Amino acid sequence: MSREVFVLHPQLAADSHSLGETATAHVLLHRNAVVPWLMLVPKTEHSDFLELPVALRAVLIDDCARLARYLRTRRGAEKINFAAIGNLVPQLHLHVVGRSLGDACWPLPVWGHLNVTAAYSEAEVAIIREEVHAVLAIG
């Protein structure tokens, strides 16, 4: 983990709601409410997931698994898409996306195919924030 001040990439900040942070990552909710879409942004200068130290990778995978379980049990996801792409936004970030048969771009990936938008209300963001805090033991 870097000792420097962590700065979230402007595109990630623009595209998401901040839900808080763990010891190792910032937790984000994608602004498009069409599919439940969470992201972890590790507090590191590494740009590729496979470059991370083994211990940090393990913590992040465990957190992603917890978020995936949350998306299934609390947000109705039938399938989880998990990715660390980084072609457009170079800052390492891990996508955990809840998918369901018949969602807006099923069966295609959300990246480049989600042409429908919907916004979360402030109340919905607050509920999701509280639920995610419980899932990741934030606070």
Whether the pTM exceeds 0.85: the reply is: yes
Q: Is the dihedral of CA 26, 134, 23, 77 positive or negative?
A: negative
Give pLDDT, residue 5. Answer: 80
Asked if residue 112 is part of any domain, the answer here is: yes
Residue 43 identity: K
CA–CA–CA angle 80, 131, 95 (5° rounding) = 30
pLDDT at residue 139 in the model? 78
Number of separate domains in the chain: 1
Tell me which residue range forms the domain holding 88. Answer: 10-136
Q: Can you give the CATH number for the domain in which 102 is found? A: 3.30.428.10
Residue 64 lies in a domain: yes
Those residues of the chain that have pLDDT short of 50 are: 1-2
Query: Does residue 46 belong to any structural domain of this protein?
Result: yes
